[in-house]
A = this chain, B = another copy of it.
Amino acid sequence: MQSKAKTAITPTRAEDYSEWYQQVIKASDLAERSPVRGCMVIRPWGYALWENIVRELDDMFKATGVKNAYFPIFIPISFLEKEAEHVEGFAKECAVVTHHRLEKDRNGGLEPAGQLTEPLVVRPTSETIIGDSFSKWVDSYRDLPILINQWANVVRWEMRTRIFLRTSEFLWQEGHTVHATPEEAKERTQLMLDVYTKLAENYLAMPVIRGRKSAAERFPGAVDTLTIEAMMQDRKALQAGTSHFLGQNFARASGIKFQTAAETEEYAWTTSWGASTRLIGGVIMSHGDDDGIILPPKVASAHVVLMPIVRKSKDRLKVMEFVESLALELKQKFFHHRRLVVEIDSRDIGGARGWDWIKKGIPLRVEIGPRDIADNSVLIGRRDSAHTEKISIKRDQFVAEITNILDDVQDNLYERALSFRTNHTVTIDDQKQFYDYFTPENADKPEIHGGFAISRWCGSDTCEAKIKEDLGVTIRCIPLDSENDNGTCICCKKPSASQVVFAKAY
């Protein structure tokens, strides 16, 4: 049994945030490293979380008229080359297929054979291959808009990988739309940012800042990139979803032309937008504590675990009957259009059982022993409270109230994350203060720095690059609601009207 003072995760966040993150994932069975460089195995507990995120996003996409489709995983090199900035951005880290067969070599091992005439890249993103289809689907303005989404795996050969945050292969969705006017395309770019915002805030309980990327941070080939940025508990930013207005760049590259109502021929206006399994990393780092992950109830892999307490074997039957009938009753209930997912854990392993579920981040733990049954009550523990805090309530009341309790957990997680962000966001107009804010007091713990700085920037690449070079700090976004009053650039001190969010980032 672990004592009150000891935490379930070693090290704690304060001791070593980065190692804490790895240990939380391990302790929760969310995922693990695979023998393939940089690729992860998403275990059932992590995949169920992803499935819930997928369903919520998918429903929201479809409500805006988007339809799902599927395009090839392979992209011929010549396709990637069609857009100059795009290839520049993705050619440096991609998996290249060069052969289509394996043959025995002289030592009896296998070697690649059947060389391809044109090598293929495993998609890092699909603008160019989907653009090829779009060019065939679009003839006239009557064919527009086209609103497509794809759920897929993508590969980017990252040198330094971290489970969920940066892996060579990850799962995502990529939306791609085609429009007759730039206005309509820009509207769609905004609309999909709204969807991501809703997912992050209402489902993942993760408050975000909505903004526009600087030119240096844009998607390669985009005219404008919108983003949502969340603060993790090490005060670094996580980009949690991006939506790109691509102008006519990719339409030109792929030949997506249409005849207008006035019978002229024009290139179309396209958008793309994506969110990925990286969001799971965001959930871990937004809500996790020193006992492990805390799952937001609306996307939790399971909502509640029932743990029968049987000390004498004569009690077993009665306790199990009570537990199973309670589970059955709970499973009939809905929590935000999803049926309650109920686990029963009757393992006889002492206190380790409760700790397992704490580490897995399940929102509610329920203990049920003979005395609870005699009183027709249950003992509940909320994952967002201290693990020692348990409340006894009547069984009927628990069944009646469980969705309210889950809503309360959800709201509490959001409020805590929002307070944390508020407490670590400062408006800074003084250069020295800015440098101090981002300089860790202790070089061993680079994560202990100020947090988000709202500061003015003149708009020049030079200033942006200097700050990145000096402090490892980037412009996360120019907030959509930023005020345009007067001031001076935090770097060059030239007049600047634009407030931006500076932060270290994942």
Contacts and interface: CB of A to CB of B under 8 A. Distances in A.
Nearest to A81: B110
Contacts of A129: 34-36
A322 interface: no
A72, A76, A111 pick with most chain B CB within 10 angstroms:
A72
B110 A87 contact: yes
Contacts of A35: 76, 79, 129, 132
Given A98-B112, A101-B91, A102-B91, A44 B67 contact: yes
B100 A97 contact: no
A239 B479 CA distance: 55
Interface stretch (A118-126, A185-193, A393-401, A421-429): A118-126
Contact of A112 (B72, B74, B87, B119): B119
Contact of A102 (B43, B77, B114): B77
A80 B51 CA distance: 29
Interface residues of A, number: 62
Given A44-B68, A47-B69, A98 B101 contact: no
B169 A72 contact: yes
Interface string A39-72: 1111110011011000000000000000111111
Interface string A134-167: 0010000000000010001101010000000000
Contacts of A70: 41-42, 47, 50, 171
Nearest to A148: B44
Contacts of A39: 72-74
Contact of A74 (B36, B79, B102): B36
A141 to B, nearest CB: 14
A110 B77 contact: yes
27 contacts: A32-B133, A34-B72, A34-B129, A35-B129, A36-B72, A39-B72, A39-B73, A39-B74, A41-B69, A42-B69, A44-B67, A44-B68, A44-B69, A47-B67, A47-B69, A50-B70, A70-B171, A73-B122, A73-B155, A80-B102, A81-B109, A91-B102, A97-B98, A98-B99, A98-B112, A111-B119, A114-B157
